[in-house]
Amino acid sequence: MVDVTGLLTTAKAKCEPRYNGGYGNGRGGNVIPRWTFNPKFNHCEQVMTRGSCHSSHNCFLSSGDVIRCGSVLAVLNAWHTLV
């Protein structure tokens, strides 16, 4: 029998911005901060966009949606822990 006590833990949701804002691109257009879930690193991160942002495309608009993004992460972490 193998003792796995303490081996399976639940990860806490971490939803912090990687970039705190900025202006433009090489052509001078303004960009807007939005939020997305990065499955490669298993956490939420802020992204800068000039286009539309829809949750169906893994893009969240407001600070209220950041909570939703963190909830998605918590569910994914729980699932990965069980698998």
Q: What is the DSSP string of 38-81?
A: ETTTTEEEEEEESS---GGGT-B-SHHHHHHHHHHHHHHHHHHH
What pLDDT does residue 20 have?
A: 43
Rounded Cα gap, residues 29 and 83, in angstroms: 44
What pLDDT does residue 19 have?
A: 45
Strand partners, 44: 15, 37
Name which of 23, 9, 17 is nearest 66 in CA terms: 17
- Tell me the per-residue pLDDT of 36-69, one tens digit each, with 9 for 90 and over: 877 777 677 888 887 778 777 778 877 567 666 6
Q: Name all domains of the chain by residue range, CATH numbers in brackets.
A: 32-82 (4.10.410)
- Tell me the per-residue pLDDT of 3-44, one tens digit each, with 9 for 90 and over: 545 555 555 555 554 444 445 555 546 778 888 877 777 677
What pLDDT does residue 67 have?
A: 62
